[in-house]
Amino acid sequence: MDVKSAFLNGFIEEEVYVRQPPGFESARFPDRVYKLRKALYGPKQAPRAWYARLKSFLLKSGFVMGSVDKTLFLLSRGGDTLIVQIYVDDIIFGGSSHALVFSFAEQMSREFEMSLMGELQFFLGLQIKQGPEGTFVHQAKYTRDILKKFEMGDSKPMATPMSTNTALDVDEDGEAVDQKEFRGMIGSLLYLTATRTDIQFAVCVSARYQASPRTSHHQVVKRIFRYLKFTPELGLWYSSGSSLSLKGFSDADHAGCRIDRKSTSGTCQLLGTSLVSWSSRKQASVSLSTTEAEYIAAASCCSQLFWMKATLSDFDLRFGKIPLLVDSTSAISIAKNPVLHSRTKHIDVRFHFLRDHYEKGDINLVHVASENQLADIFTKPLEFGAFVRLRGAIHVGDAFCSMELLRWTRGR
Last residue of a domain, one of 205, 230, 255: 230
If one compares 348 and 82, the residue with the highest pLDDT of the two is 82
Query: Taking 80 as the threshold, does the pLDDT of residue 367 lie above it?
Result: yes
**Dihedral pair phi/psi, residue 134, rounded to 5°:** 160, -170
Burial class (CB in 10 A: 0-12, 13-18, 19+), 21: exposed
pLDDT score recorded for residue 405: 47
Q: What pLDDT was estimated at residue 44?
A: 87
Residue 410: the pLDDT is 47
Task: Evaluate whether residue 235 is within a structural domain.
Answer: no
Number of Cβ within a 10 Å radius of residue 136: 24
Rounded Cα gap, residues 365 and 327, in angstroms:
10
Tell me: do 279 and 401 sit in the same domain. Answer: yes
Q: Please indicate, yes or no, whether residues 177 and 74 belong to a single structural domain of this protein.
A: no
Specify the pLDDT at position 352.
82
At how many degrees (to 10) do helices 140-149 and 179-192 cross? 170
Of residues 221 and 398, more confidence is placed in: 221
Domain end residue (candidates: 89, 118, 147):
118
Confidence of residue 341 (pLDDT cuts 50, 70, 90): low
* 224 and 335 share one domain: no
Is 60 exceeded by the pLDDT of residue 411?
no
Whether 130 maps to a domain, the answer reads no
- Based on the domain organization, do 174 and 199 belong to the same domain? yes
SS3 270: strand
Instruction: Assess if residue 385 is contained within a domain.
Output: no
Q: Where are the beta strands (DSSP E) in 53-184?
A: 64-65, 72-77, 80-87, 90-95, 114-115, 122-123, 126-131, 134-138
User: Which CATH number do you get for residue 296?
Assistant: 3.30.420.10
312 plus 284 within the same structural domain? yes
Neighbours of 368 (CB within 10 A): 18
Instruction: Show which of 230, 255, 277 is a domain's final residue.
Output: 230
What pLDDT was estimated at residue 334?
87
Report pLDDT for 342.
Answer: 57
When comparing pLDDT for 148 and 404, which is higher? 148
Which pLDDT value is given to residue 412?
41
Do residue 170 and residue 109 come from a single domain?
no
Is 190 found in the same domain as 107?
A: no
Domain membership of residue 22 (yes or no) is yes
Q: Domain check: are 34 and 86 in the same one? A: yes
334 by Cβ neighbours in 10 Å (0-12 / 13-18 / 19+) ranks as buried
Residues 271 and 359 in one domain: yes
Tell how far CA 242 is from the center of its chain. 20
In the chain, the number of structural domains is 3
pLDDT for 409: 45
Per the prediction, the chain carries an average pLDDT of 91
Shared-domain flag, residues 258 and 190: no
Confidence check: pLDDT of 93 > 80: yes
User: Residues 30, 154: one domain?
Assistant: no
Predicted pLDDT at 309: 95
Q: State the pairing for strand pair 246-253/322-326.
A: parallel
CA distance 213 to 204: 14
**pLDDT tens digits for 134-191?**
999 999 999 999 999 999 999 999 999 999 999 899 999 999 999 999 999 999 999 9
* pLDDT at residue 178, rounded to an integer: 96
How large is the angle between the packed helices 179-192 and 200-207, nearest 10 degrees?
150
Residue 127: inside a domain: no
* Domain with 84 in it: 2-118
Residue 125, domain member (yes or no): no
| Residue 238 within a domain | no
Pairwise pLDDT comparison (404 vs 330), residue with the higher score: 330
- List pLDDT tens digits, range 197-233: 999 999 999 999 999 999 999 999 999 999 999 999 9
Bridging pattern class, strands 363-367 and 322-326 = parallel
User: Are the CB atoms for 222 and 195 separated by under 8 Å?
Assistant: no
> Does residue 169 sit in the same domain as residue 67?
no
In a domain, residue 236? The reply is no
Q: Please state the rounded mean pLDDT for residues 326-354.
A: 79
Range scoring the smallest mean pLDDT among 71-75, 142-146, 342-346: 342-346
Name the DSSP letter for residue 158: -
Q: Are 10 and 56 in contact (CB under 8 A)?
A: no
* Assessment of whether the complete model's pTM goes beyond 0.85: yes
